[in-house]
């Protein structure tokens, strides 16, 4: 079996989570998220956020979180602003448009949006009522390119959105990895202040499944549960999500797992950097994009699984390596050994 | 703690399922349902159905299954025919209408649709193009009232749908309970022939979550996976569903669990019948609706949880009792003892 | 050629309207409803309504008005309450559901909704979040059965909706006929106070096409024009609608035309009543539903066109006769003569 | 009053159309497009197209035509391919996305799509089922930039679409102008062969309102009328559209009007070209985009209305001049005189 660096969801769940599912299996609990585990997990997360007014809702996956949040917030004529690398734009089978909303894409170098990226969109959408109204800014942290937002960047973006009457929504499928990056200076609790909505990705950080949507803007909370049910996302056995998030947050397991993903990736990055390898983008989380000779890539792929991301010139390509909450030192070491032999 | 007869999803999963999740936890598998467990589970179910052309797709819950199947089949102007007791009509927050389709409800005595119920709908929808076109017949087996379809009834309905160019879709949230009812004469494999689509309910029969959509009509299979992804229902760790269905079907655990639910309910039904209790409907599965004095109901509810279903006269009400795959003899016996004291 | 009593849209427009279209044909005007005719017509209607805060929007037809108004007001999980005879429920090809919203139908004797009809719907929709939230009450005046709302009835309904936090929307496809019925006691300007939204039907009262949506509730006006454009209802040459409504309202032509439709129908009704004919419902507008022998209907249909509405027993059926803004005395007289011969 | 060159819908209708509306005003006709004028107009257009299998449907406007055609053809997960200048992409308030479908935009120099533009889109959409499936190619002729497709270009595009199993849909809001351009070599009847669907724009070529959708692909015709009704586009007095199209096509008025629009624009273009003016794009229809000094533009705008299209450098901008079916020689001459004085 080859070791896989293709993604961060190729194994099951962290053992502590499985254990908790087994331990609480026989309790008779109320359905649809009214179980005590879900209630406790929500309370715990609110406490970590130090945000009394935030409300938390658990759903199964990222696309589901994105489509429910966005379709619940926007009026029919309102649109989303996203980097063209945004997951909703090209990796979710038109899930947002399927709920009726246009996404306005912005080309960026690093997958991050800044006010200066958004201003032209606003200026080019003033032909009332012939154009959609841009209303919600969608960002990912960490981004689909592995980069992260710094506190100052988030402050500016958040401030800008408030001034322009735009909602700010952060896709946190890889939030743990962002917040535990070496260069991160954003606190978990900052998110309650800086975004209207964000979600805490569980699937890509050690849960079997599950994302925790956090709605900070009280106006957007009203009747939100209807949307979850209507989109088919309200699990009868909501306990499965509650138990997992309780486990992830009670001893900061969530952040420890994110940290491991980053540490393993940085080991590879540092090693390759020393060897003179170039990268497609400068990342600090669990995704790295080294540029390698095609023949070299071929050899590497005999022992490891990963995506060839894009051809960079006639003889070279960037590959994408993803490490995870569950990447063992041994797997990384094997990869480094192989690199050492080949580089 | 009171013992609950409120629903069949108040506990976690059957221990064999949890064990399998633990056993396969560390395998690195392809995401999005391409893992070997999902592939094997699909093959196993196809074999049980003796239907080479059927295709199977796993999703998380019943509302999700219903909305994806229906929205993928119907053109914008086509409508669903359902009994007014149908789950989609009144218990799914308008999930079907949210995808653009009207549901035409039919009042029935027992929650079952017959050709004679549907004919008037077809005759009253001929004012082209001012009315929707009825196109898909939605039935539940067992029904929301606990009744089941007999083979002859399904044959007639299936034949009728073919003649009238209607699709037949069976909601099998409680399929195991239907197929293991004492009075059932429908085989699992009959469903591959008699329906265009049906689904195998896991959530209410021992899984943590999961429904297996079976598309028998090859015309409806094309590109179906797009719909699953677009509606946010494609789990990154699809293995969770595959592992569970593999476990449920490999030694017919699925049917054993359904059987237990029925047996426990029938014990209560038979006991009460002997005591002279009347029922709202004559059911043979895990839902029973005895009519009891209100004072008696109050006493019963001190020790057990259940829904008061509807007031039948000034002094009496029907309650709904649901037993499950996990209802123990001891729980049923406690209930019978209490009944014995009170009746 | 047979004279038609099938509907009130079988001819073109009132001559004054055609004349105005010709007179103003060569003016160069701004597009999309910003022409001076549309602006003046809106001002004129506001003045007649004595309602400074009402805003008026012209669209082409009734289904269009209904779907734009309803989809612009409701959140995805909110539903419409309507009499089962409501035009939106069975005569608009699921246009409302196509925008994502369920319609909850209520059986009524006369096509009118009263608070007592609505209360059970509200009480049966409390299973949060598993059911849609009833939020908008849709009524027609005159109704699809030719009946009208009295002032007291509207007061009560309006008051009830405010208490229950429901929106009240009146479909006025035949508003002129309602407000000029002999038994009407509602003023045009009452509608600005009693409804959140209503529309002024032009198509069925002398215009080539056109309905004037009046939004009285200021909360519902914001950005409404986006919805018109998005649904394809913003005519480039909006002047066509403006010119017509200006003509209809400048000398109360609108009400005179409605009056004529009613007068002609009442002549027939009174004549038949004297002859002992029974009616399916007691109407005071331009729709009447006399019950006649089938053989008699056959004879009548040799000279006149009308719909056979429903069979009432083995030998008799109700027919629907509709008179219009353009029904001439001579046509009605011919019909009465024929009746006289046959009755 | 300034003379307007802002658009081609600033006046009413061609006098022959108004006359026909007056002449046939009192006929009693069937509603909803079943009147004899609509039936005759459809027959006439089919004859001109020499295409027995084509079916024609009249609707009120371009956005309406676009959204009905596209939403009726595509399955939920299928997407539209369009030039980024396409009217549906940026000028219709997200009408297509509101029906659930993504538009994939392609940057082009001249507003026209070629196979080489589309190939990369197809190649970048192979990550099944995580991306939408590109399925319909939307083109405008003439384009939003005033350019037109040559026969050879259409042949290649049509052939390509057939090979790739894509539908080809031509927005003909300004079809008359395209087909009467000096450089055009496409026949009206070619469109029946080369496209799956196209529409004949009436609003921008002399009608009060109205577009004639022509469906050539028989698979796409089935039940199409349902879609028209459901989207609120079926006029009760369909005669209004039928009478107009009958008038437009009976003596080729449609093409004469398109020709006039082009002739007037070319007079201005040629005059300016002689004077050394540069243009933003090389157009042969009724839209021209001359680049002028800003001070010059200011002077011109004192006597004429037009849009300033885009700034080209610090001192110059391109303006958009649109002539129409109704632009008189006298208006063009006045403009040329003014130019002469200023240039």
Quote the CA–CA distance of B163 and B174 in Å, as a whole number: 28
pLDDT band at C225; cut points 50, 70, 90: very high
**What does the pLDDT look like over B254-305, one tens digit per residue?**
999 999 999 999 999 999 999 999 999 899 999 999 999 999 999 999 999 9
Quote the CA–CA distance of A83 and A81 in Å, as a whole number: 7
**What does the pLDDT look like over C144-203, one tens digit per residue?**
999 999 999 999 999 999 999 999 999 999 999 999 999 999 999 999 999 999 999 999
Share of chain C above pLDDT 70, in %: 100
Q: Regarding predicted confidence, which is higher, C342 or D177? A: D177
Has residue B10 been placed in a domain?
Answer: no
Residues of the domain holding B81: 15-252
Share of chain D above pLDDT 70, in %: 100
Kindly report the nearest CA distance between residue C272 and chain B, in angstroms. Answer: 29
Neighbors of chain D by Cβ distance (3+ pairs < 8 Å) = A, B, C
Selected for mutation to probe chain B from A92, A201, A236 (highest B CB count within 10 Å) is A236
Kindly report the nearest CA distance between residue A63 and chain D, in angstroms. Answer: 10
Contacts of D91 in chain A (CB under 8 A): 127, 130-131
**Model pLDDT, residue A1:** 80
Secondary structure (DSSP) of C103-135: EEEE--SSS---HHHHHHHHHT--STTSS-EEE
Of all residues in chain D, the one with the smallest CA distance to B225 is D129
Has residue B5 been placed in a domain?
Answer: no
CB-hemisphere CA count at 13 Å for B305? 11
Contacts of C132 in chain A (CB under 8 A): 226
| CA distances for C114 relative to B221, C82, C109, C122, D182, angstroms | 47, 11, 11, 13, 65
Q: Same domain, yes or no, for B104 and B70?
A: yes
Contacts of B234 in chain A (CB under 8 A): 61, 63
pLDDT band at D41; cut points 50, 70, 90: very high
Contacts of D77 in chain B (CB under 8 A): 223, 226-227, 229-230
Are C310 and C317 contacting, i.e. CB atoms less than 8 angstroms apart? yes
> Residue C97 and residue B93: Cβ atoms within 8 Å?
no
pLDDT band at D1; cut points 50, 70, 90: confident
Has residue B75 been placed in a domain?
Answer: yes
Q: Which of B182, B135, B137 is nearest to B282 (CA)?
A: B182
Handedness of CA D242, D190, D280, A109 (dihedral sign): positive
Q: Same domain, yes or no, for B266 and B248?
A: no
Are B78 and B135 contacting, i.e. CB atoms less than 8 angstroms apart? yes
> Residue A90 and residue D131: Cβ atoms within 8 Å?
yes
**What does the pLDDT look like over B56-83, one tens digit per residue?**
999 999 999 999 999 999 999 999 999 9
Q: Same domain, yes or no, for A238 and A276?
A: no
Has residue B3 been placed in a domain?
Answer: no
| CA distances for A6 relative to A10, A327, B29, angstroms | 8, 12, 10
Neighbors of chain A by Cβ distance (3+ pairs < 8 Å) = B, C, D
**What does the pLDDT look like over C74-125, one tens digit per residue?**
999 999 999 999 999 999 999 999 999 999 999 999 999 999 999 999 999 9
pLDDT band at B342; cut points 50, 70, 90: confident
> How far does CA C7 lie from the centroid of its chain?
13
**Model pLDDT, residue A343:** 77
Structure tokens at D256: 């004469």
Q: Same domain, yes or no, for C31 and C72?
A: yes
Neighbors of chain C by Cβ distance (3+ pairs < 8 Å) = A, B, D
Selected for mutation to probe chain A from D86, D90, D94, D231 (highest A CB count within 10 Å) is D94
pLDDT at D113 over 80: yes
| CA distances for B216 relative to A2, B219, B296, angstroms | 36, 9, 48
Q: Same domain, yes or no, for B139 and B71?
A: yes
**What does the pLDDT look like over D203-219, one tens digit per residue?**
999 999 999 999 999 99
Selected for mutation to probe chain B from C76, C85, C88, C94 (highest B CB count within 10 Å) is C94
Q: Same domain, yes or no, for D247 and D258?
A: no
- The total number of structural domains in chain A stands at 2
Of all residues in chain D, the one with the smallest CA distance to C35 is D10
HEC letters along C234-273: CCCCCHHHHHHHHHHHHCCHHHHHHHHHHHHHHHHHHHHH
Share of chain C above pLDDT 90, in %: 99
Kindly report the nearest CA distance between residue A97 and chain D, in angstroms. Answer: 5
**Model pLDDT, residue D236:** 98
Quote the CA–CA distance of B2 and B303 in Å, as a whole number: 5
pLDDT band at D314; cut points 50, 70, 90: very high
End position of a domain, from candidates A210, A229, A253:
A253
Q: Same domain, yes or no, for C292 and C152?
A: no
- Domain CATH number, residue C100: 3.40.640.10
**What does the pLDDT look like over A13-52, one tens digit per residue?**
999 999 999 999 999 999 999 999 999 999 999 999 999 9
Q: Where are the alpha helices (DSSP H) in C58-213?
A: 62-73, 87-90, 95-98, 115-123, 151-164, 175-179, 190-194
Residues of chain A with pLDDT under 50: none
Contacts of A30 in chain B (CB under 8 A): 10
Q: Which residues share a beta bridge with B316?
A: B293
Q: Same domain, yes or no, for D334 and D236?
A: no
**Model pLDDT, residue C342:** 83
Q: Same domain, yes or no, for D232 and D133?
A: yes
Give the number of other Cβ atoms within 10 Å of residue C237's Cβ. Answer: 24
> How far does CA A164 lie from the centroid of its chain?
25
**Model pLDDT, residue D342:** 83
Q: Which residues share a beta bridge with D170?
A: D139, D198
Q: Same domain, yes or no, for A198 and A160?
A: yes
pLDDT band at B1; cut points 50, 70, 90: confident
Give the number of other Cβ atoms within 10 Å of residue D246's Cβ. Answer: 23
Kindly report the nearest CA distance between residue B131 and chain D, in angstroms. Answer: 8
Structure tokens at C252: 């109360």
> Residue A77 and residue C227: Cβ atoms within 8 Å?
yes
Q: At what angle do helices A253-274 and A329-342 cross, to 10 degrees?
A: 10
From chain B, which residues contact C within 8 Å (Cβ)? 76-77, 79, 90-94, 97-103, 127, 129-132
Quote the CA–CA distance of D158 and D147 in Å, as a whole number: 18
Kindly report the nearest CA distance between residue C229 and chain A, in angstroms. Answer: 7
Phi, psi for A79 (deg, rounded to 5): -125, 165
End position of a domain, from candidates B237, B252, B267:
B252
Of all residues in chain A, the one with the smallest CA distance to C232 is A130
> Residue A91 and residue D132: Cβ atoms within 8 Å?
no
End position of a domain, from candidates A213, A236, A253:
A253
Q: Same domain, yes or no, for D65 and D103?
A: yes
Kindly report the nearest CA distance between residue A274 and chain D, in angstroms. Answer: 34
pLDDT at D242 over 90: yes
**Model pLDDT, residue B123:** 97
**What does the pLDDT look like over C267-291, one tens digit per residue?**
999 999 999 999 998 999 999 999 9
**Model pLDDT, residue B217:** 98
Has residue B35 been placed in a domain?
Answer: yes
pLDDT band at D147; cut points 50, 70, 90: very high
> Residue B128 and residue D225: Cβ atoms within 8 Å?
yes
Residue B343, SS3 per DSSP: coil
> Residue A229 and residue B25: Cβ atoms within 8 Å?
no
Kindly report the nearest CA distance between residue D75 and chain B, in angstroms. Answer: 8
ipTM of the complex: 0.96
Selected for mutation to probe chain C from D27, D62, D237, D328 (highest C CB count within 10 Å) is D237
- Domain CATH number, residue C312: 3.90.1150.10
Residue B200, SS3 per DSSP: strand
> Residue C227 and residue A133: Cβ atoms within 8 Å?
no
Kindly report the nearest CA distance between residue B3 and chain A, in angstroms. Answer: 8
Q: Which of C166, C183, C202 is nearest to C70 (CA)?
A: C166
**Model pLDDT, residue B24:** 98
Phi, psi for C144 (deg, rounded to 5): -65, -15
Average pLDDT for residues D307-334, to the nearest whole number?
A: 96
Residue D23, SS3 per DSSP: helix
pLDDT band at D343; cut points 50, 70, 90: confident
Phi, psi for B209 (deg, rounded to 5): -170, 160
Average pLDDT for residues C323-334, to the nearest whole number?
A: 97
**Model pLDDT, residue B198:** 98
pLDDT band at D281; cut points 50, 70, 90: confident
**Model pLDDT, residue A110:** 95
Quote the CA–CA distance of B227 and B65 in Å, as a whole number: 11
Neighbors of chain B by Cβ distance (3+ pairs < 8 Å) = A, C, D
Q: Same domain, yes or no, for B100 and B160?
A: yes
Selected for mutation to probe chain B from A4, A91, A92, A232 (highest B CB count within 10 Å) is A232
**What does the pLDDT look like over A218-232, one tens digit per residue?**
999 999 999 999 999
Quote the CA–CA distance of B19 and B117 in Å, as a whole number: 46
Contacts of B15 in chain A (CB under 8 A): 25
Q: Residue length, chain C?
A: 343
Average pLDDT for residues C59-65, to the nearest whole number?
A: 98
> Residue C97 and residue B97: Cβ atoms within 8 Å?
yes
> Residue B230 and residue A204: Cβ atoms within 8 Å?
no
**DSSP 8-class letter at A217:** S
Q: At what angle do helices D329-342 and D253-274 cross, to 10 degrees?
A: 10
Quote the CA–CA distance of A254 and B296 in Å, as a whole number: 49
């Amino acid at each position: 079996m080859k070791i896989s660096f293709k993604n961060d969801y190729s194994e099951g769940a962290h053992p502590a989570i499985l254990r908790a599912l087994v331990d609480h299996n026989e309790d008779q609990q109320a359905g649809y998220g009214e179980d005590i585990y879900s209630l406790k997990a929500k309370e715990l997360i609110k406490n970590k956020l130090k945000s009394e007014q935030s409300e938390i809702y658990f759903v199964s996956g990222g696309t589901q979180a994105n489509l429910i949040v966005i379709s619940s917030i926007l009026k029919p004529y309102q649109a989303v602003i996203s980097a063209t690398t945004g997951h909703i734009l090209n990796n979710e089978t038109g899930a947002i448009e399927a709920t009726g909303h246009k996404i306005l894409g912005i080309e960026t170098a690093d997958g991050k949006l800044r006010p200066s990226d958004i201003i032209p969109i606003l200026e080019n959408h003033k032909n009332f009522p012939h154009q959609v109204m841009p209303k919600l800014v969608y960002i990912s942290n960490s981004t689909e390119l592995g980069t992260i937002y710094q506190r100052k960047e988030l402050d500016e973006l958040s401030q800008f959105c408030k001034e322009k009457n735009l909602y700010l929504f952060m896709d946190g499928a890889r939030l743990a990895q962002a917040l535990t990056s070496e260069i991160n200076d954003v606190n978990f609790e900052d998110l309650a202040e800086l975004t209207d909505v964000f979600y805490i990705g569980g699937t890509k950080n050690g849960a079997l499944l599950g994302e925790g949507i956090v709605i900070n803007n009280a106006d957007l909370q009203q009747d939100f549960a209807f949307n979850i049910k209507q989109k088919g996302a309200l699990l009868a056995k909501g306990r499965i999500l509650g138990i997992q998030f309780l486990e992830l947050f009670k001893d900061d397991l969530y952040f420890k797992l994110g940290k491991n993903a980053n540490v393993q990736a940085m080991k590879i990055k540092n090693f390759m950097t020393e060897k003179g390898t170039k990268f497609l983008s400068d990342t600090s989380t669990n995704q790295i994009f080294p540029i390698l000779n095609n023949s070299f890539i071929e050899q590497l792929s005999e022992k490891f699984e990963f995506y060839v991301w894009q051809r960079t010139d006639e003889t070279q390509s960037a590959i994408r390596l993803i490490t995870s909450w569950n990447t063992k030192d041994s797997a990384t070491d094997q990869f480094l050994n192989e690199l050492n032999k080949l580089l």
